[in-house]
Structure 1
């Protein structure tokens, strides 16, 4: 999904303000939202990818006006309604699932290229890294594919690869020749 949430590498948003000695929570309610989300996820009410999808589909003006934990709170409210928890029967935890054995297509040291696509749904492949070449550093997994898990389908598992991209590959001459970015990517994102 090419939404307002995917700002990586974009210009015009001003500098990132770093607050020295920034507290984890600026207000007490933020810690409570964190605790509620953690509890809901542990109870199996929703998963991390469903939460990300819900945040990513916020109206752009609301997304930009909301702070970090306000987005979490909005997602929590929407997910509890979507799942029928707020007015429905008591929640039932999702059954635990053992990871299937899946042979990876790539190995450390392989040169790979990310797919170039414009999804209409949640994805963990950032826009700035689409259609770019990188080198596999590590092979992990398998893990559920977040693009489908965000919509409640956790049945498809794939290896995940840490892929390192040179800054110039991602941002052209604006990238420093010695800088790089490592991104964890599911196999279906790679060619």
Structure 2
């Protein structure tokens, strides 16, 4: 998480308002389409989940603040489609009635057409998911019950300003290992095309009072999934 995206525990944003139990899955019809096109584009195999997360994190702060959830998804997707040369900016600018961006280049078969996700394959693709567990040469260093501290400073140590899954509110916090998840792809590396670099992943519990100076419920715990390189022995 970087920049505007890393807002957990931040003051001034108001309480989280959960949806009603009977709320529809998608508040508006286009939300479902936004999810569908994002998943379909991901099936082209030009990026991974960490790359896509980083694309949304890189939105300009003014856009991130004003965009709704699925607007952030679409904006991140547009960034990836152009950066990975799947589409041109001109292609994204064309209108539904065939306005700007039409022509021979717009109607010619796309080089990735064979990888298009067909409707009949959607259920199987969703059921398969995208497992991120991988074998690793990095030895597991911690066990359930071990006390650990999140490293300081936080942030991506491979790429300045890069993607990481260590939230800023946990940097320097003391916690305890509650579960070893095995070894998984390291987002800090995978998001930037530096390889999967798998390493041990842990569920780590933190007292609310360890994370925030004035927690509403000091006895609460927060459990975060954190990679081994984010942690230090105590």
TM-score, normalization: structure 2?
0.74
Q: 1:173, CA displacement in angstroms?
A: 4.2
Q: State the Cα deviation string for residues 106-144 of structure 1 (Å, max 9, x = none).
A: 111110000112532111000000000100011113111
State the match for 2:167 in structure 1.
126
Please identify the structure whose Cα radius of gyration is greater: 2
CA contact (8 A) 2:132 2:185 kept: no
State the match for 1:22 in structure 2.
23
Q: Is 2:168 the partner of 1:114?
A: no
177-186 vs 31-40, which moves further: 31-40
1:97 and 1:9 map into 2 onto residues whose CA distance is 27
Q: 1:91, CA displacement in angstroms?
A: 7.0
Q: Is 2:196 the partner of 1:152?
A: no
1:107 and 1:85 map into 2 onto residues whose CA distance is 44
State the match for 1:85 in structure 2.
86
Q: 1:152, CA displacement in angstroms?
A: 1.9
152-161 vs 71-80, which moves further: 152-161
2:14 and 2:112 map into 1 onto residues whose CA distance is 45
CA contact (8 A) 2:185 2:197 kept: yes
Gaps of 5+ in 1: none
Give the secondary structure class of the aligned counterpart of 1:72. Answer: helix
Q: Is 2:219 the partner of 1:178?
A: yes
2:2 and 2:154 map into 1 onto residues whose CA distance is 7
Q: Is 2:170 the partner of 1:169?
A: no
Give the secondary structure class of the aligned counterpart of 2:189. Answer: helix
Q: Is 2:101 the partner of 1:100?
A: no
State the match for 2:104 in structure 1.
none
CA contact (8 A) 1:168 1:175 kept: no
1:172 and 1:130 map into 2 onto residues whose CA distance is 14
State the match for 1:36 in structure 2.
37
Give the secondary structure class of the aligned counterpart of 2:204. Answer: strand
> Aligned pair in 2 of structure 1 residues 92, 188: CA closer, same or farther (>3 Å)?
farther
State the match for 2:48 in structure 1.
47
Q: Is 2:10 the partner of 1:10?
A: yes
RMSD, matched Cα: 2.2
1:164 and 1:157 map into 2 onto residues whose CA distance is 22
Give the secondary structure class of the aligned counterpart of 1:177. Answer: coil
Q: 1:89, CA displacement in angstroms?
A: 3.3
Gaps of 5+ in 2: 89-109, 116-130, 156-160
